[in-house]
């Protein structure tokens, strides 16, 4: 089965900083990659699908890129409301594995 | 409006059985896969399996195969996740989600606590 590895597992950045999270698949998955945001105590929320398509209503400071095995989620200017754990997920075929998560905090 | 409404929190003893539910509305329930996701306390998201309510085709994560059963009743637009014998390690939040490729809509979660 394909493994999904996220890095870093946590990060601390200042408001306004550019933040980059990486997700690597152990085999190619095309662009079948989604990113989710989970705020503390809340339900996960879809941010990006097809590696780079922003879900409706998601702020434009979020962006995704990549294909094949290497993917990136970028927050162009970190805001206090972005404090959350971010997960990638492959969805080309079962198992629809999640990455281990990246916890983003404000410095 | 698409909604997935899950059943309420459960407190069970080890060895007991349990079936939790996820009722879909606002869309064609038989046309989309429904997935189940586990989140243990303080941990990440784990994909458990998915079911296509149209024909009950079901796929399981190798980690959960044989440990749980996923089913659906399309007549009442409801998917289920069940255990025949709970363990303390099953204590977690369980989410259902609609699969549109990715998981685009999520239920509110069902907290399952297993304790003697």
Instruction: Please state, in angstroms and rounded to a whole number, the distance separating the CA atoms of residues A63 and A57.
Output: 13
Supply the DSSP symbol for A32: -
Cα(B113)–Cα(B93) distance, rounded to whole angstroms? 9
Please list the residues that pair with B10 across neighbouring strands: B112
State residue B100's pLDDT score.
Answer: 84
Mean pLDDT to the nearest integer, A49-76: 98
Partners of residue A102 in chain B, C-beta under 8 Å: none
pLDDT, tens digit, for every residue of B42-91? 999 999 999 999 999 999 999 999 999 999 999 999 999 999 999 999 99
Q: Is the pLDDT of residue B116 over 90?
A: yes
Spatial separation of the C-alpha atoms in residues B57 and A72, rounded to whole Å? 33
Residue B72 in contact with partner chain A when CB distance is under 8 A: no
- At B9-55, the pLDDT tens digits run 999 999 999 999 999 999 999 999 999 999 999 999 999 999 999 99
Note whether A6 contacts B: Cβ–Cβ < 8 A: no
d(CA A15, CA B57): 46
- A91–B46 CB contact, under 8 Å: no
> Would you state the pLDDT for residue B47?
97
């Amino acid at each position: 089965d394909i493994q999904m590895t996220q890095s870093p597992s946590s990060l601390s950045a200042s408001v306004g900083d550019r933040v980059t999270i990486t997700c690597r698949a152990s085999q190619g998955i095309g662009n079948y990659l989604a990113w989710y945001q989970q705020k503390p105590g809340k339900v996960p929320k879809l941010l990006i699908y097809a590696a780079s398509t922003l879900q409706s209503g998601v702020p434009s400071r979020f962006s995704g890129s990549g294909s094949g095995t290497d993917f990136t989620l970028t927050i162009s200017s970190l805001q206090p409301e972005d404090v959350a754990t971010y997960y990638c997920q492959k969805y080309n075929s079962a198992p629809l594995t999640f990455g281990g998560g990246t916890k983003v905090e404000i410095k | 409006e698409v909604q997935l409404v899950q059943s309420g929190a459960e407190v069970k003893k080890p060895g007991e059985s349990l079936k939790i539910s996820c009722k879909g509305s606002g869309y064609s329930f038989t046309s989309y896969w429904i997935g189940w996701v586990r989140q243990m306390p303080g941990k990440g998201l784990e994909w458990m399996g998915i079911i296509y309510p149209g024909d009950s085709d079901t796929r399981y994560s190798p980690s959960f195969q044989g440990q749980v059963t996923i089913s659906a009743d399309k007549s009442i637009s409801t998917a289920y996740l069940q255990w025949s014998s709970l363990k303390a390690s099953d204590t977690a939040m369980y989410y259902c989600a609609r699969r549109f490729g990715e998981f685009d809509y999520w239920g509110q979660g069902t907290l399952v606590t297993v304790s003697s």
